[in-house]
Structure 1
Amino acid sequence: MINLLIVEDDEQQRNIIETIVDNGNFQVTSSASVEEAILILKSQPIDVIFSDWKLGNLSGIDLLNFIRKNYPHIGFSIATAYGTIAHAVEAMEAGADDYLAKPFQRQALLLSVDKAVKAMQLRSENSQLNEALVEQNNLAGIIGNAPCMAKVYERLKRVSHTNATVLINGESGTGKELAARALHELSNRSGKFIAINCGAIPESLAEAELFGAIKGAYTGADSDKEGKIQAADKGTLFLDEIGELPLTLQAKLLRFLQEGTVVPVGSHSESKPDVRVVVATHRNLMEMAEQGEFREDLYYRLNVVPLVMPPLRERREDIPKLINHFLDKFAKQYHSPLPELDKNVLKQLLDFHWPGNVRELSNRVERYILLDDVNELINGMNQSSVEQHSFTLPSSGINWEEFEKQCLQDALRQNNGNKTKAAKFLQLGYKAFLYRLEKHSIG
């Protein structure tokens, strides 16, 4: 049942409107003035308002302005005997969902109210979706609404309540650990989230760090040591930079993933902790496997559910939101005033390639807040394209024609097919860019 409030100072006209809308779809309340309507709004729920324009001391537009400021979800249709284009424009600019000129027919009134109802319902649905998205993003600790990030959220949501092993790929600084934490937070696992960087552990201690060790198992082992796998019992174990794990340990990790058992260093006793494993890397594990640097069987065991964290340059629409997030975060952390960025500075931030991704953006904003120097934000952003897009040629060489074609296709994809922007992205003249597209038969 829709709660409808009719605001009309003419009693006879008010009674006519009540009769027309009394069709079982509405719970109708009436008032003769803006002041009375506001009292009603404060005392009971209202979904839709149908108001006259001229209402004595205050007008329907005054009521509409109050509604949009205090009850933005409410549907609002306004009517007047002084129907002019100027009134219609004023009403719509103030946020009315529909405008009805007097005298009006019964069907016109019902259609106008129905339009306000649908607008109210759409706003409510959008509000619920936005709240759900914000809640999900806050829970995950990940900022961004770009389409590529929406795919990340969807995949996180789908696999979070399972025990499937997840392999997170992405460049450094894209938020791979945040995605791993999101999987844990969105799951129903009661244990801890245990993170370990495989590239930061000395090889001699790596086995004990992962699997644990008993007292006397090696020099310096003065007591039993609990491994990270056991510590993550009923929780999630996150192995960052899995490509750096020594080959000898890769075999033991594979055994754990296959059998679920752990044997501490120096022990013969097995345990079976309940652990969900999530791993991440910025390297191509399949290429490493082909070169004998990573076990192929372990790669397939880890790559049950692949997840790719997109680089910041592929979700530029998220940069303003990320900037505001970091400005607010570090201003609060360092008890500094919240600064406002000049439009030219913001443009440089939006245009930058961000080789260090979100981590680099965070670091730059933190330095800016600490040193109160905008140059800390934009230093180095005017470097040449070669410096920003630097890469190392493989020792085996490349097929130039295929490489050029790939660059053209990637540039078009990153710029949503806009040829002008793609040419600018590659720092090519527009005609030169079109020539190369034709050369490679790219539409």
Structure 2
Amino acid sequence: MADASLLVVEDDAAQRELIQSILRSAGYTVRGTDSTESALRLLAAQTAQLVVSDWKLKDSDGMALLRSVRSDHPGVGFVLATAYGSIQHAIEAMRAGADDYLPKPFERQALLLTVEKALRARALSAENQRLSERLGEREKLVDLVGKAPSMQLLYRRIEKIAGTEASVLISGESGTGKELVARALHRLSRRAAGEFVAVNCAAIPEGLMEAEFFGAEKGAYTGAHAARAGRFEAASGGTLFLDEIGELPLTIQPKLLRALQEGVITRVGSQREVRTDVRLVAATNRSLEAEVAAGRFREDLFYRLNVVPIALPPLRERREDIPALVEHFAARAARLHRLDPIPAIPRSVLKRLIDAPWKGNVRELGNVVERLLLLADANGISVDDLPPEPTAEPAGGIRLPAEGLSLAALEASLLRQALERESGNRSRAAKLLDLPYKAFLYRLEKHGLASADDVS
């Protein structure tokens, strides 16, 4: 505290010099003046941590200065000293927001102790304020549940980068909560009052993607009966979240890169540039580095998106969070479906939930918990109520033999089996393997199956 900046306001020049001298000898940085007007001017030019003021000043009184400081500089401490009053002055000053009161005449030690006490009170108040703000920030992460080390790292990363304008690339398996993280970044950002616009890139037909992103003028394409703004314009001033960014066609990638680099877009059917201001958050469940290497994703766009990477852990790597997640999802389902009382989930069921493979991650767990609560009867919930999927062995019960196996051969065999089961229909075969269609075609080509008419 000894390096704090102080302002002494005293109309008696000799007394002011004495107070300044005592405070400087204790290591404080001290300025001095004799009036309310000059004190406020000095604070406006360079703030102080504490004002030590006399009750009687050149142009007014210390109470007038106190009220102005509390109004214009609420974080600055204030000590009022006077020989002109009584205890009533002290009460009045404390009620108006003074940190302490110092009766004159005072000794050197009394001045230093009062100043130190006021500075410590201010520091404590500031720390409490910071803790309150931090708690408020954590409340904005309310949908993200878990105390596993990987989640603690995630919370710290979100809090550190949310207030920046950096693009963020969130990676993780399906169901790990990528959109929840994107929304948390938005809520904690300076753009929180703006729109959060979410776009699933895999759900937009390639022929309509440019219009969806950048908008279109009337008559720009069949069915464009009126001009419409795209997602970039809708998100201007806020956050644009592009989910499944790995599904973005190569044809649209240069235009997305330009929009991000230059902050301008051009509607389909127009030559006029429209300036936009978005903070971009993208998400993927695949390796964009591998997509770049395979020539399916532009390297320059990848680097533009991947300014700050966030990798989400799968649920199987943070099983210690499953009890808290079950409680969270049970409470949410109870609110949504107005369940009262909330059916209890017994320990035997919870153990099975903890041990399950959770291929669908947190999303799958939420669905299972909701189903358990909705189907509970008078006898409560039992292990028999669990669906077979979460407790099944991963990968269809395949176990690695002692002698090992060829992963490439296994993948090729699964591709053939999926095509056989779906009578050669590649779209249905891709869904059977829970693969994006493009990824399925890539694997067919990789294993020399792309041109085969008969894959049996």
Q: Match of 2:393?
A: 384
Uncovered stretches (5+) of structure 2, i.e. residues with no partner: 1-126, 412-456
Q: Match of 1:233?
A: 236
Counterpart of 1:184, as a letter, is H
**Quick one: which of 343, 349, 353 aligns to 1:345?**
349
Identical-pair percentage: 53
Counterpart of 2:155, as a letter, is Y
**Quick one: which of 314, 322, 325 aligns to 1:322?**
325
Q: Match of 1:249?
A: 252
Distance 1:377 1:145 in 2: 26
The answer to whether the Cα contact below 8 Å between 2:357 and 2:391 also exists between their aligned partners in 1 is no
Q: CA deviation at 1:313?
A: 1.1
Distance 2:136 2:146 in 1: 10
Q: Match of 1:364?
A: 368
Q: CA deviation at 1:393?
A: 6.9
Find the residue that maps to 1:247 and give its secondary structure: coil
Distance 1:250 1:130 in 2: 43
Over the aligned positions, Cα root-mean-square deviation in angstroms equals 2.7
Q: CA deviation at 1:345?
A: 1.1
Distance 1:331 1:274 in 2: 40
Q: Match of 1:204?
A: 207
Distance 1:183 1:271 in 2: 26
Q: Does 2:287 align with 1:278?
A: no
The answer to whether the Cα contact below 8 Å between 2:218 and 2:226 also exists between their aligned partners in 1 is yes
Q: CA deviation at 1:271?
A: 1.4
Find the residue that maps to 1:262 and give its secondary structure: strand
Q: Does 2:314 align with 1:311?
A: yes
Q: CA deviation at 1:241?
A: 0.1
Alignment of 1:100-249 (within 5 A): 132=134, 136-189=138-191, 190-249=193-252
Find the residue that maps to 1:306 and give its secondary structure: strand
The answer to whether the Cα contact below 8 Å between 2:140 and 2:188 also exists between their aligned partners in 1 is no
Counterpart of 2:301, as a letter, is L
Relative to structure 1, is the Cα distance of residues 130 and 303 closer, same or farther in structure 2, using a 3 angstrom cutoff? same
The answer to whether the Cα contact below 8 Å between 1:137 and 1:143 also exists between their aligned partners in 2 is no
Find the residue that maps to 2:258 and give its secondary structure: helix
Uncovered stretches (5+) of structure 1, i.e. residues with no partner: 1-124, 399-443
Q: CA deviation at 1:383?
A: 2.5
Q: Does 2:358 align with 1:354?
A: yes
Alignment of 1:38-77 (within 5 A): none
Distance 1:282 1:152 in 2: 17
Distance 2:367 2:410 in 1: 35
Find the residue that maps to 2:282 and give its secondary structure: strand
The answer to whether the Cα contact below 8 Å between 1:140 and 1:186 also exists between their aligned partners in 2 is no
Q: Match of 2:40?
A: none
Relative to structure 1, is the Cα distance of residues 371 and 129 closer, same or farther in structure 2, using a 3 angstrom cutoff? farther
1:238-291: CA deviation from partner (whole Å, max 9, x where unpaired):
000000111111111011111111000011111111100000000001101111
TM score, norm. by length of structure 2:
0.56
Distance 1:389 1:156 in 2: 37
Counterpart of 2:360, as a letter, is G
Runs of 4+ in 1 over 6 A off after TM superposition: 128-131, 388-393
Find the residue that maps to 1:271 and give its secondary structure: strand
Number of residue pairs matched? 273
Q: Match of 2:121?
A: none
Q: CA deviation at 1:131?
A: 10
Relative to structure 1, is the Cα distance of residues 130 and 174 closer, same or farther in structure 2, using a 3 angstrom cutoff? farther
The answer to whether the Cα contact below 8 Å between 2:239 and 2:279 also exists between their aligned partners in 1 is yes
Distance 1:353 1:262 in 2: 44
1:394-440: CA deviation from partner (whole Å, max 9, x where unpaired):
64899xxxxxxxxxxxxxxxxxxxxxxxxxxxxxxxxxxxxxxxxxx
Counterpart of 2:158, as a letter, is L
Q: CA deviation at 1:371?
A: 1.7
Relative to structure 1, is the Cα distance of residues 187 and 323 closer, same or farther in structure 2, using a 3 angstrom cutoff? same
